[in-house]
Copies of this chain bind each other. A is one copy, B any other.
Amino acid sequence: MFNVLGNFLTLSSFGESHGEAYGGVITNFPAGLELNLDEVQKDLDRRKPGQSAIVTQRKESDTVRFLSGIFDGKSTGTPIGFIVENENQRSKDYDHISGAYRPSHADYTYDQKYGIRDHRGGGKSSARETLNWVVAGSLAKQLIPNVEINAYVSSVGDIFCEKPYQALDFSKTESNIVRCPDAETAEKMIERIKEVKKEGNTIGGTITCVIKNVPAGWGEPIFNKLHAELGKAMLNINACKGFEYGSGFCGAKMTGKEHNDLFNADGTTKSNLSGGIQGGISNGMDIYFRVAFKPIATLLRPQESINKDGEIVIVEGKGRHDPCVLPRAVPIVESLAAFVLADMYMINKIRRI
């Protein structure tokens, strides 16, 4: 099965940027869980456009409506259907590109693959799909209430949050519009984003995600290692270019003597270069990973491109676009991580007699 998120707990989703609605079906959510649907809407609000000066000014209420699978406030064990109606599309902002391929977008590849393409707002390739993931991930989070998942913007362009995650206070992440818990760095990042925005340009960056309180044992041993599932989920986020966990690419420069995490008597480890996962299975230590995002491809400035007939055309983003994907991607990263973890948690419950 593919074009589905998850292995046991699954999300089948749908929706295009300028279609009627987004939505999905969450299958195999267990019965009997008291659900807080306001929390889901809150997570959606953290993702929604128009929330600050450094994100797109598009106005969408992005209100989720649950259609099934919940009775008397509790999950029934049967499929949870939901939709989020589209409201504020301005399809004519895209008329000028109906025949053109925007550079580094999916316009060309969709057309090559399907022979048909919904050009309005990128159609299915739009990152608006991620709102489905936030709904599903936010519910999934409620399945594993002890697990703490905190993502934050750890770099914008060449501005890095130099402090290790242990030195950060995650309660501060939401206190600024860029979602970096270090106030000083956050200010620099915001400045940098405003600069590129002024030029009609965009900028990339990284998000770091830290997950606490996952007990030992989650993750499958061969083709669904916990970090591989997290990595796959993150790489599916629009604009994602890379994923590393624990020591990551730095670990590739080290020797075994430096890298091995020695045990304490209680099974915890003295260091945690493993990033909380050994052999694809959680070991009870903090799980942490980093995700790289490229700069958004839509520029509010002219670029040379081609149209369907191979003729040179000039494209220029019109309307309302994000100069930097990072702030709005924070809840997406958290939600996907929650979904993956809840899925692995459920599977793990039946791995022993």
Contact = CB atoms under 8 A, between A and B. Distances in A.
- Give the top 3 A-B pairs by smallest Cβ distance, nearest first: A106-B279, A242-B244, A14-B81
A280 B68 contact: no
Contacts of A298: 256
B157 A254 contact: yes
A246 B240 CA distance: 10
Tallying the copies of this chain within the complex gives 4
Contacts of A252: 155, 204-206, 241-242, 292-294
22 contacts: A1-B1, A3-B79, A4-B27, A14-B68, A23-B83, A24-B25, A24-B81, A76-B116, A78-B221, A109-B219, A110-B279, A113-B216, A202-B255, A204-B255, A222-B236, A244-B249, A249-B249, A249-B292, A252-B292, A260-B299, A349-B349, A350-B350
Given A246-B241, A281-B109, A292-B252, A265 B114 contact: no
A137 to B, nearest CB: 13
A112 B14 contact: no
A30 interface: yes
Contacts of A204: 251-255, 259
A123 to B, nearest CB: 7
B112 A281 contact: yes
Contact of A267 (B4, B80, B106, B108): B108
Given A20-B66, A255-B202, A261-B104, A279 B77 contact: no
A92 interface: no
Contact of A220 (B3, B118, B247): B3
Interface in A292-347: 292-299, 301, 303-306, 310-312, 346-347
Given A2-B7, A2-B8, A78-B222, 15 more contacts: A3-B221, A4-B223, A14-B79, A20-B67, A21-B81, A31-B352, A32-B115, A108-B263, A202-B255, A232-B232, A256-B299, A260-B299, A263-B305, A265-B310, A265-B312
Given A116-B76, A306-B267, A256 B201 contact: yes
Contact of A353 (B32, B80, B104): B32
